[in-house]
Amino acid sequence: MGNVTTSETSPATVTVDIYSDVVCPWCYIGKRRFEAGLELARQAGLDADVEVSFKPFQLDPRAAPGVAGPVFDAYAKKFGGEEQARAIIDRVTGEAAANGLAFRMDRALRANTLLAHRLIWLAGEPGSPVDQDAMKERLLRAYFMDGEHIGDADTLARLAAEVGFDRDEVVEFLDSERGTDAVADELRHAYENGITAVPTYVFNGEWAVPGAQEPEMFAKVIAKMAEKATERSAGESGASAPS
C-alpha cells in the first residue's frame, strides 16, 4: 500500500507548551512530575505522540543583566524577611527531594534569565544539535544544584557546550540580537493570554493547567487531550474521505 497511513500507524499528537523560568523551583519540580505523569500515561496505553515546547516566563524581568546574588537575599527581600525566606527554601527543597531533585539553594545565584531563555529558544530551532529538554534540564541543574551564574554569557556558553552545542557559536549567538524578538514575542503572548504564574502547561493550545500538579493529574490530562486529538483527527479524516 505504499506510503498510505492510517490512524493506527499515525497516532494523534498532543502538544504541550510549558511556560516556566529557570530560577523557578516549582518549575523544576513540575518538570519531574510532568515527566512521571507522561510515563504513567504511556504505561496505561497512551496512543498519541506528545510534543513538548518550553516557553519563556520571567519571575523577575527587572533583574539587572549580568548581575547575580544569593537567592536567600532575593527571597528575604521579596517575601518579607529572613524567616519567610528560610521557610520557603526549606519547603521547596523538601518537595524537590521527594521528586528526586537534590536542591542546593545555599549555592543558588538569582540572576536575569533572558539570555537563558534565548538559549532554550535556540535549542528549539530547526537543525539544533541539542533539544530543548536537554538545554532546559542543564540550566535548571546549573541554577538549583551547581550554583552557576545563569545570567552570564560565558557560563551559558560553557553549559550549552556540555550538552552538545558548539561553544563559539553560542558565544556569537548570545552576543547578537538573534532570538531576542522571538523570546519577547513569546513573553508577550504569555502575558496577553493570562499566564501570570509558572509553571503553566498549555495542552493543544486550548487547555491551560497551572502549577506543579501531581503525576497522576498530568497523566489524566494527557490521556484526555490525546482522546480529543484522536477524535478530531478521525473527524478530519472522515470529512476528507471520498463519498
Per-residue HEC secondary structure of 14-70 comes to EEEEEEECCCCHHHHHHHHHHHHHHHHHHHCCCCEEEEEEEEECCCCCCCCCCCEEE
Specify the pLDDT at position 1. 38
Q: Are strands 48-56 and 207-210 parallel, antiparallel or unpaired?
A: unpaired
In order of 77, 116, 155, 185, 234, the CA distances from 173 in angstroms are 34, 12, 14, 18, 43
**Cell 521528586 sits on residue:** 99
Task: Write down all domains in the chain, each with its CATH number in brackets.
Answer: 14-227 (3.40.30.10)
Specify the pLDDT at position 234. 72
Cis peptide before 199 (omega within 30 of 0): yes
Q: What is the pLDDT along the chain (243 residues), one digit of tens a residue?
A: 333 333 355 789 999 999 999 999 999 999 999 999 999 999 999 999 999 999 999 999 999 999 999 999 999 999 999 999 999 999 999 999 999 999 999 999 999 999 999 999 999 999 999 999 999 999 999 999 999 999 999 999 999 999 999 999 999 999 999 999 999 999 999 999 999 999 999 999 999 999 999 999 999 999 999 999 998 877 665 555 554
- Closest of 14, 17, 12 to residue 209, by C-alpha: 17
- The kind and range of the H/E element at 140 are helix 132-144
Q: Cβ neighbours of residue 113 under 8 Å, at least 6 residues apart? A: 21, 22, 23, 56, 58, 59, 60, 63, 150, 151
Specify the pLDDT at position 7. 39
Does the model's pTM come out above 0.85?
yes
Q: Are strands 109-111 and 200-203 parallel, antiparallel or unpaired?
A: unpaired
Specify the pLDDT at position 242. 52
